[in-house]
């Protein structure tokens, strides 16, 4: 049984940019080599007041810019909702380190070159899976799904697999970030940081982070 680690509380003087601490916590979770998916995060979306949440993997983290990347099928349930309602929330929970991170922000499609580069780095089976799966659509049976995978494999033969146009990355520009560390007697340590995001075409301008400690 892996041991729980008593995590340090947040610094008395809160950092100017909380995302550097998130980056360090993510690295610490990766270093704990008993976690199968240290980069797993809950992604919550919302449409017409109906929230939905699922796990995705964090595949890029830019602490300075405050951006978190994940990859998915753009025509999946989440992809369709995000394109229409880009405000999302993310949660990381590293139980063994008594840490939680909550991020809220704007999810925008990653540049095609970034998605191409990440897709090219994936194992071939995962690449074929991206072609085979019309993610979130019904299918009659598991055998029918495996048959779709086999036909994607046959279509590509031994050739390299290009990125499907319906598959790629999202970049979540953090507007808010909350750091949480468990404390004895439920006296946890929390701090919430916020900043302005201004979208202009394909670019996002960011204001300075403002942080404050919160009661747990
Ligand atoms: C550990 C774990 C990692 C996952 N990583 C991803 C991921 O990176 N991208 C993805 O599209 N789905 C991922 N999934 C599957 C999603 O949770 C979800 O089932 C799928 O994306 C369909 O969601 P949707 O119908 O809401 O679009 C992962 C699931 C688990 C349990």
Range of the domain at 43: 18-121+164-214
Catalytic annotation present for 192? no
Q: Above 70 in pLDDT, residue 1?
A: no
122-181 tens-digit pLDDT: 999 999 999 999 999 999 999 999 999 999 999 998 889 999 999 999 999 999 999 999
- Indicate which residue of 50, 171, 186, 190 is catalytic: 186
77-121 tens-digit pLDDT: 999 999 999 999 999 999 999 999 999 999 999 999 999 999 999
Centroid of ligand 1 to alpha carbon of 54 (angstroms)? 6
* Nearest ligand 1 atom, CA 77: 27
Residue 91 within a domain: yes
At a CB cut-off of 8 Å and minimum separation 6, what does 51 contact? Answer: 44, 45
Q: Above 80 in pLDDT, residue 2?
A: no
Residue 30 within a domain: yes
Residue 173 within a domain: yes
Read off φ and ψ for residue 32, nearest 5 degrees: -80, 90
Residue 132 within a domain: no
Residue 203 within a domain: yes
Residue 202 within a domain: yes
Q: How many CB atoms lie within 10 A of CB 114?
A: 16
Residue 183 within a domain: yes
**HEC letters along the chain:** CCCCCCCCCCCCCCCCCHHHHHHHHHHHHHHCCCCCCCCEEEEEEEECCEEEEEEEECCEEECCCCEEEEEEECCCHHHHHHHHCCEEEEEEEEHHHCEEEEEEEEEEECCHHHHHHHHHCCCHHHHHHHHHCCCCCCCCCHHHHHHHHHHHHHHHCCCCCCCCCCEEEEEEEEEEEEEEECCHHHCCEEEEEECCEEEECCEEEECCCEEEEECC
Q: Above 90 in pLDDT, residue 75?
A: yes
* Residue of 45, 53, 55, 59 best suited for mutating to test ligand 1, as the one with most atoms within 8 Å of CB: 55
Residue 4 within a domain: no
Residues in the chain: 216
Please report, for the domain that includes residue 187, its CATH number. Answer: 2.30.110.10
Please tell me whether the overall predicted TM-score, pTM, comes out greater than 0.95 for this model: yes
Q: How many domains does the chain have?
A: 1
Centroid of ligand 1 to alpha carbon of 77 (angstroms)? 11
């Amino acid at each position: 049984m892996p041991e729980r680690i008593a995590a340090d509380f947040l610094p008395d003087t809160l950092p100017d940019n909380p995302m550097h601490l998130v980056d360090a916590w993510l690295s610490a979770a990766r270093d704990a080599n008993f976690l199968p998916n240290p980069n797993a995060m809950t992604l919550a979306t919302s449409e017409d007041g109906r929230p939905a949440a699922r796990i995705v993997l964090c595949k890029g983290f830019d602490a300075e810019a405050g951006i978190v990347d994940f990859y998915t099928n753009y025509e999946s349930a989440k992809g369709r909702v995000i394109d229409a309602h880009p405000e999302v929330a993310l949660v990381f929970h590293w139980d063994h380190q008594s840490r939680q991170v909550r991020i809220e922000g704007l999810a925008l499609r990653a540049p095609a070159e970034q998605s191409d580069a990440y897709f090219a780095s994936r194992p071939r089976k995962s690449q074929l899976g991206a072609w085979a799966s019309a993610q979130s659509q019904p299918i009659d049976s598991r055998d029918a799904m495996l048959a779709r995978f086999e036909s994607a494999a046959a279509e590509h033969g031994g050739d390299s697999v290009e990125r499907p146009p319906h598959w790629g990355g999202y970049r979540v520009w953090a507007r808010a970030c909350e750091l949480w560390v468990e404390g004895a007697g439920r006296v946890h340590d929390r701090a919430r940081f916020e900043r302005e995001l201004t979208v202009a075409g394909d670019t996002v301008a960011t204001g300075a982070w403002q942080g404050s400690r919160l009661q747990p």
